[in-house]
Structure 1
């Protein structure tokens, strides 16, 4: 069981269930690369019955060294833009997809607070998505406490995963 309070985002388990069912239904596998959510995304998927049929694995890359050394995010990119950036999120998703051998990679990076980070405001979040067609990212500006921002980021990542599974 995850330590995520379901009251922070009451639809989280439902969305995770839909993502697991969608991946299984299409015969696709998923991997995660998480900074901001530190494993919550993978845990939400794994809490869903049947997840073992679609969840390949995940990497918690809280530190930039892990983003570079494990996920393959270019160090020059991190030096230029910091860890909270759409290009970084896209590279994290692509790295998770590659190293876990998955069809889809999804990633999270952002600032949960209480202080800004890398010149980015609290609530700034990027979700990365990688498929065989390439990688992209989506930016968000969330408001709330640290746990609320992390829950919202997890929900956004699951929703982007659902969109990828629907296309």
Structure 2
């Protein structure tokens, strides 16, 4: 577990600027980071790209990718994170796209979230976590917590 304050402290130490690209969390990761006083020295910006059109227009996600694999995919998470890095002054960007619920399907169940972590000069990390049908609020909370852990690991 990592807190937003710990992520910000590590980013500050390493001189890293952070951006977020969020779909299923609707800005909650950015909110967690900016809840911490003084975060403006390391948090650059957050992108809430809930619709597919926003993902394409704001972050440069390829329409072909969305059509081929859908928004809840590691490919889209990668493009979102890389797009956030390119559209900001950040050197670290985290992205999330998933199904908070209710709903889902056999192939993309409720609670599935794809994460992307892009860093300047490094290969983009992507992973999928199946949190399960915890309910919308819990899936979103778990997603924020996991995104903070990913950022903390990248900063150590």
TM-score after normalising by structure 2:
0.94
The residue that corresponds to 2:63 in the other structure is: 75
1:114 aligns with 2:102: yes
Q: Please give the residue correspondences for 1:152-163 in structure 2 after superposition, counting only pairs within 5 Å.
A: 152-163=142-153
In 1, distance between residues paired with 2:82 and 2:66? 15
Structure 2: runs of 5 or more not aligned: none
Deviation at 1:98, TM superposition (A): 1.1
Structure 1: runs of 5 or more not aligned: 1-10
What secondary structure does 2:127 align onto? strand
CA deviation vs aligned residue, 1:112-159 (integer Å, no higher than 9, x gap): 111116941001111110012131211101031100000001111110
Change (3 A) 1:51 1:118: farther
In 1, distance between residues paired with 2:89 and 2:150? 19
Contact 1:89 1:107 survives alignment (8 Å): yes
The number of aligned residues is 154
1:33 aligns with 2:21: yes
The residue that corresponds to 1:140 in the other structure is: 129
Q: Please give the residue correspondences for 1:38-49 in structure 2 after superposition, counting only pairs within 5 Å.
A: 38-49=26-37
Q: Please tell me the root mean square deviation across aligned C-alpha atoms, in Å.
A: 1.4
What secondary structure does 2:45 align onto? strand
Deviation at 1:50, TM superposition (A): 2.1
Change (3 A) 1:37 1:152: same
In 2, distance between residues paired with 1:45 and 1:162? 12
In 1, distance between residues paired with 2:81 and 2:9? 21
Change (3 A) 1:34 1:118: farther
Contact 1:58 1:100 survives alignment (8 Å): no
